[in-house]
């Protein structure tokens, strides 16, 4: 029997330095590319923004380097900065600029080298130390990052943002004890500061401590009624499996922000997910006049009518969704899938063909179209689409499973065998592949020992699957082991709760081989009661009855 189931990201911010220079003479310095820049007396000094005096020529060469930097030519900028150092080797500005240029070129070792030289000149550069720690973090030297951040906090205990970086570094280093130690201090430092509390929530979330994260988020909501914090709280409640609390939070959100649409999104989607359609309608009706503001309002209306199988209303509201330019892929996908489920196959193909170019990076619509052609028994077209999709995603098991079944239905047994073998190579725990491959071999009456081995493997993975027991019973039947096949098929009937026509057909065939004609006919009749169109069962019953 076939069965198919369907780092903290560290951003290095490069400081841009803009310096305005005044020029007072007609002297010039010749550069390597033939360009000249005006310069003044090389012995003169100019007062700059960092309260120290610089040789004028160093300033002028530095300004030339800045032109390259602003143009994105960091390599040339570095050469000019290094030239400027010849005239002033005590400038933190120049060292930092060289470090920044190397950083833009992702040459971390060179950037670190120049930042360190800058710190030797002026040690108390907190932003530079923080940048250096970030570089160590992204290059995997977490211990050095931690050391720098701890030093910053020791010297500057009010640098609260450093706590967030330090705690995340400890988490990355799998040192939860120190992470929680500094987190406790961080919370105390920013008891009523939203940004700090928000960071602490994110840390607790990273640690998997959802209870503490929820407590802090509720506190944030007492300080601020911003929508993003309701979103965060709802996410945390879902993660913590506190589903009943979600409704309470959403209700409170609606009371506190009556004009906000977002809480209605959660409310309606939750009711639809639980098939509480009347409740979903109630909340949709409250906001339906605002359908132009959000595509999902009309989409929810369409979804409600999908549940009620009201095709005309579904078509009306889904068209309204598509009239909104911001509508994402989701409603297109859901509508195509609904057309498939409603067996509106021609409408489905026509719809998919009309919109498929809107989403060139997403193959889901083509996948659905292949399923439609399969339902229409246009197997060659379905196989062609799946093969095309497989060319783009060669290890996609959903595609491979569908192809294997289609190959079998299209009498391409060898290709079906090869496809199941490939699935098992990709995932040795795919019970469906073992089961379906076993059933395929049994149906074709060859390699029955292999079929039995595959069937046993599927049951090792999912030992309580009635479907897999039925496959084993059929393999044993094909092998002529009828008594054992009967025991196994009875196990399958106990495990499979829903009525399954093929299961009773198999039992009827097994009983016939055991000579129990009356019970054989009884089970074949049960198979036909479940599925009156089951031609094999009907034919077999007629044959037995006429004997």
Contacts of 35 (CB under 8 A, 6+ apart): none
DSSP state of 73: -
Please list the helix, strand and coil fractions of the chain in percent, rounded to the nearest 5, in that order. Answer: 70, 5, 25
- Taking each helix axis from N to C end, the angle separating 466-478 and 448-461, rounded to the nearest 10 degrees, works out to 160
Q: Are strands 27-30 and 53-55 parallel, antiparallel or unpaired?
A: unpaired
* Lookup: tokens for 251: 């209700």
Tell me how far apart the alpha carbons of residues 260 and 253 are, in angstroms, rounded to a whole number. 8
Question: Rounded to an integer, what distance in angstroms lies between the CA atom of residue 296 and that of residue 268?
Answer: 10
Measure the CA–CA gap between 124 and 102, rounded to whole angstroms.
22
| Residue 395 main-chain phi, psi, to 5 deg | -110, 20
Q: What whole-number distance in Å separates Cα of residue 342 and Cα of residue 320?
A: 20
- The answer for 324, left when phi > 0, alpha when psi is -120 to 50, beta otherwise, is beta
Task: Kindly give the confidence (pLDDT) of every residue in the chain, 547 residues in length, as a single tens digit, with 9 standing for 90 and above.
Answer: 554 433 322 222 223 222 222 232 222 333 333 333 233 233 333 334 354 455 688 888 999 999 999 999 999 999 999 999 999 999 999 999 999 999 999 999 999 999 999 999 999 899 999 999 999 999 999 999 999 999 999 999 888 889 999 999 999 999 999 999 999 999 988 878 899 999 999 999 999 999 999 999 999 999 987 889 999 999 999 999 998 898 899 999 999 888 999 999 999 998 898 889 999 999 999 999 999 999 999 999 999 999 999 999 999 999 999 998 889 999 999 999 999 999 999 999 999 999 999 998 899 999 999 999 999 999 999 999 999 999 999 999 999 999 999 999 999 999 999 999 999 999 999 999 999 999 999 999 889 999 999 999 999 999 999 999 999 999 999 999 999 999 999 999 999 877 889 999 999 999 999 999 999 999 999 999 999 999 999 999 999 988 7
Name the nearest CA neighbour of 219 among 177, 191, 242, 238: 191
Distance in angstroms (rounded) separating the CA atoms of residues 455 and 484: 14
The answer to pTM > 0.75 is: no
> Packing angle between helix 295-307 and helix 329-341, nearest 10 degrees?
10
CB crowding 69-81: b at 16 or more within 10 Å, else e: beeeebebbbebb
Separation CA 173–CA 146 (nearest Å): 9
Report which of 130, 160, 172 is spatially closest to residue 7, judged by C-alpha positions: 172
Do residues 439 and 462 make contact, with C-beta atoms less than 8 angstroms apart?
no
Q: Are 332 and 323 in contact (CB under 8 A)?
A: no
């Amino acid at each position: 029997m076939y069965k198919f189931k369907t780092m903290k990201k560290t951003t290095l911010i490069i400081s841009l330095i803009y310096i305005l220079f005044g020029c007072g003479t007609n002297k010039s310095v010749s550069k390597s590319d033939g360009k000249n820049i005006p310069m003044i007396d090389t012995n003169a000094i100019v007062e700059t923004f960092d309260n120290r005096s610089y040789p004028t020529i160093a300033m002028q060469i530095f300004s030339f380097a800045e032109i390259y930097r602003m143009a994105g030519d960091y390599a040339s900028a570095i050469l000019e900065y290094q030239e400027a150092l010849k005239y002033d080797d005590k400038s933190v500005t120049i060292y930092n600029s060289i470090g920044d240029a190397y950083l833009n070129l992702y040459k971390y070792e060179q950037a670190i080298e120049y930042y360190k030289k800058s710190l030797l000149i002026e040690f108390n550069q907190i932003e530079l130390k923080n940048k250096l720690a970030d570089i160590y973090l992204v290059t995997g030297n977490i211990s050095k990052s931690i050391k720098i951040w701890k030093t910053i906090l020791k010297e500057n205990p009010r640098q609260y943002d450093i706590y967030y970086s330090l705690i995340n570094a400890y988490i990355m280093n799998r040192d939860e004890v120190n992470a929680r130690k500094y987190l406790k201090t961080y919370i105390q430092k920013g008891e009523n500061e939203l940004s700090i509390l928000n960071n602490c929530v994110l840390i607790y979330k990273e640690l998997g401590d959802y209870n503490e994260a929820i407590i802090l988020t509720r506190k944030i909501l007492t300080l601020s009624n911003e929508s993003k914090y309701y979103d965060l709280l709802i996410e945390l409640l879902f993660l913590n499996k506190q589903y009943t609390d979600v409704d309470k939070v959403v209700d409170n959100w609606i009371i506190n922000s009556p004009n906000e649409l977002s809480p209605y999104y959660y409310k309606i989607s939750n009711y639809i997910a639980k098939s509480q359609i009347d409740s979903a309608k109630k909340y949709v009706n409250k906001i339906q006049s605002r359908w132009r503001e959000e595509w999902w309002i009309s989409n929810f209306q369409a979804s409600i009518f999908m549940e009620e199988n009201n095709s005309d209303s579904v078509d009306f509201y889904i068209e309204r969704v598509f009239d909104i330019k911001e509508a994402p892929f989701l409603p297109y996908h859901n509508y195509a899938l609904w057309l498939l489920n409603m067996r509106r196959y021609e409408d489905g193909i026509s719809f998919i063909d009309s919109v498929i170019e809107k989403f060139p990076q997403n193959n889901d619509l083509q996948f659905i179209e292949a399923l439609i052609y399969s339902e229409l028994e246009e197997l060659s077209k379905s196989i062609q689409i799946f093969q095309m999709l497989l060319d783009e995603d060669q290890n996609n098991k959903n595609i491979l499973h569908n192809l294997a079944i289609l190959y079998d239905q299209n009498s391409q047994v060898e290709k079906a065998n090869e496809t199941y073998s490939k699935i098992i190579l990709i995932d040795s725990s795919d019970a469906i592949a073992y089961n379906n491959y076993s059933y395929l071999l049994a149906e074709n009456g060859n390699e029955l020992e292999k079929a039995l081995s595959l069937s046993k493997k599927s049951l090792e993975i999912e030992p309580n699957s009635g479907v897999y027991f039925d496959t084993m019973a059929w393999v044993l039947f094909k092998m002529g082991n009828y008594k054992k096949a009967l025991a196994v098929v009875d196990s399958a009937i106990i495990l499979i709760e829903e009525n399954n026509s093929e299961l009773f057909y198999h039992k009827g065939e097994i009983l016939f081989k055991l000579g129990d004609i009356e019970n054989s006919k009884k089970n074949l009749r049960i198979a036909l009661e479940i599925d009156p169109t089951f031609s094999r069962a009907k034919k077999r019953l007629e044959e037995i009855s006429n004997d």
